[in-house]
Structure 1
Amino acid sequence: MTVAALREKQDVRETGFNVILVLKDYGISSSKNFSAFASFGFHPVGAGLPWLFTGAQIGVPANFNSTSDDPSGITNRTIFINGKVVDWTSDTGSALQEALVFSPEAQKFAIAREVARLQSGGPVLSAAVAPVCLGGVWVYSVLMKQVFGLHTGPPLLRGGVNILALGLGAVSYFLTLDAVSHWIDYKSDRGAAGVSRGYAKGGIEFYDKILSRNKTLRSLMGQKGQEMYAPSGNLFPANILQLKHTPYTSRRKEILTMLRKEKA
């Protein structure tokens, strides 16, 4: 077995152990409905639902196995930005590396955030938006035809009403999806930060590091980075129909507010 394969197996074991610790802190006595795997990217991801027979999966990235003393989970990876390999010894490379190293508390918060999202049925709520808005299209169409007396009117006018209803449904979908996504994000943060004061402090560090990472990527990526990331480190909208991602600065501020209230 190669060194890389051994390292990968070790990462998977560490990943599973970290998830089990978080589940215990979160008050979940049995981890049988959760499984862990080593994922790509720079922060944990979650999928599935704990109460289904397939369970939920938590993906933890390689940089969560890195520390300031041993950043190999980061530096062993080849990352291309604008067609160039990131030089980890450069100033920007070092800044990016620093932003990708999280303390144990920040790592636990990030994993707990995904656990909270899956426990609250976040994937189901997000998936429910589309069929609800599709039903809304039918309601819009029926109501407008009723109001304007077009149920037996010219086919051209009825077709126009159907197109208008589709447009209203599309707008409703994007607005509702944004609202639901924001609600899920804030609820997940509150759930993770509410585990303990240590988790809450880890949450502040987690978002500080994400903002720092995005600022560094904004510099490294040039024009494209300026289009993707705001100077604050928040993400710009992906497209004109999407209002905005839940601001990382707002998520950090909410956790900070929780800590201040607890201290008071």
Structure 2
Amino acid sequence: MAVQFLRKASVWIKKRKITLLAISCMGLFSTNLSYHLFPEQTFKLLHECWSGGQPAELSQKLYGVFQDVLQDTDVKSTNSYRAFAASGFLPVSAGIPWLPAGSLVGIPPNFDSTAEDKKGIVDHVVVINGKEVDWDSNEGIALKEALTFSLEAQKFAIAREIAYLRNGSPLASAIVAPACLAGTFLCGRVIKLHLGLSSGPMILRGLCNLITAAGGLMFYYLSYDAMTYHLDCKADRRAATVSKDYAKGGVEFYDKILSRNRILRGLMGKQGPKMYAPSGNLFPRYWFRMKYTPYTYRRDMIVNILRELQA
């Protein structure tokens, strides 16, 4: 009974290969793009900062900084970009600016902090390895310093999120998976035709499919990491070239991130070296993958941009 069912299913799938491939590709694309299509209903709920049981409101100061960045980056349709108070310590963003839902940029509360007033940091409880960070300890003081950004660094951080969205990065990132799936399918068919396996033994066809699928998966990982690297660098470059002040802010921004990560590496005990490299980069490699664009590379790239702007 089971064998007969599998045979019928196999015949049904063979007759509808292209249709199933198209549906699968569209499903992958839609899934990857879902929270960019509906950022208010998905992304914002996930990243929104709460205070006293209510969503926190973005301060007038940070709202003004956000508007200044929109003006500095020559954004014409400013209504397509909206800011909100985000949790965490770094800006986040989602959305597609030219769609009706627009895009959102989350600005963290520590951006309200200054060298004199760090309430945006110390008002938050940070727990590492089950222990609350003592902001008055040596590590706590160093962490506060690493989480305090100048106005130029804040503007750069917000500008790079806006640049990321303006570049169509969500679309470019979302298309990688369906493109690799379609490419793997087509390569599998070509290989089987070339080797004469289309009507060959089922075991050989299955082995060919398995090898092709493994190759396709590896190609997807490499392609996705390369796309992430390209989009991150493109957004950084676009934000840094706004002006010298933005470039200086970019250097400070990544210096502070690296400093923060080195501090966290020490505070997290055994887990620290698993997450952060000694330089402060996120742990760079998973076998053949590089899932994150190194912060050191991004900082050095902006240093070179700053030199060109100052020349």
Normalising by the smaller structure, the TM-score range is over 0.9
Match of residue 225 from structure 1: 272
* Aligned with 2:192 (options 145, 148, 152): 145
Pairwise CA distance, 1:234: 0.6
- Alignment check: 8 A CA contact 2:90 2:107 kept: yes
In structure 1, C-alpha distance between the alignment counterparts of 2:148 and 2:239, rounded to whole Å: 19
Are 2:290 and 1:243 equivalent residues in the alignment? yes
Alignment coverage as a number of residue pairs: 261
Matched AA of 2:208: V
- Alignment check: 8 A CA contact 1:48 1:57 kept: yes
- Cα shift readout 1:205-225 (whole Å, capped 9, x = no counterpart): 000000000000001001101
List gaps (5 residues or longer) in structure 2: 1-50
Match of residue 58 from structure 1: 105
Match of residue 155 from structure 1: 202
Aligned-pair Cα RMSD in Å: 1.7
Matched AA of 1:41: G
In structure 2, C-alpha distance between the alignment counterparts of 1:244 and 1:30, rounded to whole Å: 33
Pairwise CA distance, 1:13: 3.6
Cα 1:244–1:71, aligned 2, differ >3 Å: closer, same or farther? Answer: same
- Three-state SS of the structure 1 residue aligned to 2:79 is coil
- Alignment check: 8 A CA contact 1:234 1:249 kept: yes
- Alignment check: 8 A CA contact 2:92 2:106 kept: yes
If you compute each CA radius of gyration, which structure gives the higher value, 1 or 2? 2
Are 2:182 and 1:135 equivalent residues in the alignment? yes
In structure 2, C-alpha distance between the alignment counterparts of 1:244 and 1:181, rounded to whole Å: 8
Match of residue 168 from structure 2: 121
- Three-state SS of the structure 2 residue aligned to 1:245 is coil
* Aligned with 1:83 (options 126, 130, 136): 130
Match of residue 183 from structure 1: 230
List gaps (5 residues or longer) in structure 1: none
Cα 1:99–1:181, aligned 2, differ >3 Å: closer, same or farther? Answer: same
Query: Which stretch has the larger CA shift, 165-174 or 101-110?
Result: 165-174
Identity of aligned residues (%): 49
Using the size of structure 1 for normalisation, the TM-score is 0.94
- Three-state SS of the structure 1 residue aligned to 2:235 is helix
In structure 2, C-alpha distance between the alignment counterparts of 1:163 and 1:14, rounded to whole Å: 56
Matched AA of 1:128: I
- Three-state SS of the structure 1 residue aligned to 2:88 is coil
- Alignment check: 8 A CA contact 2:184 2:216 kept: yes
Match of residue 67 from structure 1: 114
Match of residue 16 from structure 1: 63
Using the size of structure 2 for normalisation, the TM-score is 0.80
Match of residue 155 from structure 2: 108
Pairwise CA distance, 1:105: 0.2
Alignment of 1:191-230 (within 5 A): 191-230=238-277
Query: Which stretch has the larger CA shift, 116-125 or 237-246?
Result: 237-246
In structure 2, C-alpha distance between the alignment counterparts of 1:242 and 1:170, rounded to whole Å: 12
- Three-state SS of the structure 2 residue aligned to 1:47 is strand
Are 2:75 and 1:28 equivalent residues in the alignment? yes
In structure 2, C-alpha distance between the alignment counterparts of 1:14 and 1:71, rounded to whole Å: 15
